[in-house]
Amino acid sequence: MIEKWGEKRARIYGDLLESLSLILLLFLIILLIAVWISGKSCAQIFLNQAGLSSNILWYLILATVTAFFFFCGLGSRYENAVNYYISSRCTNCSRDFAREEFKRPLLKEVSTPEKYEITRTRYWKCKFCGLEDYRTEELDYNNHKGKKGKQKKSTCRVCKREFSMLEYRDPDVKRKSNEETTVRHYKCLNCGFREITIEKVILEEVNIQ
């Protein structure tokens, strides 16, 4: 749609639709004030379902509300289309609808003693000039550092020393839909062997009555 129209026209059209919905809103307010002023008699007539003039007023209000939402929706759709259009433009050769994702996004989890971050990197390539580009964004899976557990130290699988495996830093906790995953980090105090455990818990909504 925008390819045919050009960005400027689409943007103007989107703005126009938005101002149109504002005008409609104003019109609606004026109508409501008119109803409020003629209040008593109007309501009476409306209840009796007689009085053609007041009915027309109500229909007008209904139509205005409908039109308002219609134009609002249309306006935001134009805005989205314009945004998509701009994001697909190549920064090197300035051609439109040029950028395409050329490989799968890279999901990365970074765990340090202090933080637990999940990022996604998306890779783009211009199909005309071949310019490659990537963007990394942080994802929110309610990921955070948890608290170390209080379980007994276990035996090391490598050096077989008893009670030597220690949880040496706070676990990484994330939540995806209703599944909570906790990754715990252990280290052998004797030989330095490191190990992680992954706990998955399905969180169910419980209705207590």
158 binds Zn ion (CB under 5 A): yes
- Min dist. Cβ of residue 99 to Zn ion (A): 8
Binding segment for Zn ion (CB under 5 A), chosen from 34-42, 78-86, 112-120, 180-188, is 180-188
- By CB under 5 A, is residue 2 in contact with Zn ion? no
Q: Judged by CB under 5 A, does residue 30 bind Zn ion?
A: no
90 binds Zn ion (CB under 5 A): yes
Distance CA 134, CA 196 (A): 31
* Number of residues lying near Zn ion (CB under 5 A): 14
Residues in 94-113 that interact with Zn ion by CB under 5 A:
none
Cite the beta strand spans of the chain per DSSP E: 99-111, 116-126, 132-138, 144-145, 165-176, 179-188, 194-202
C-alpha 184, offset from chain centre: 29
Judged by CB under 5 A, which stretch of 4-12, 19-27, 42-50, 189-197 contacts Zn ion? Answer: 189-197
Residue 11: closest CA among 90, 80, 88, 95: 80
Residues 6+ apart with CB under 8 A from 34: 57
- For Zn ion, the binding residues (CB under 5 A) are 90, 92-93, 126, 128-129, 131, 156, 158-159, 188, 190-191, 193
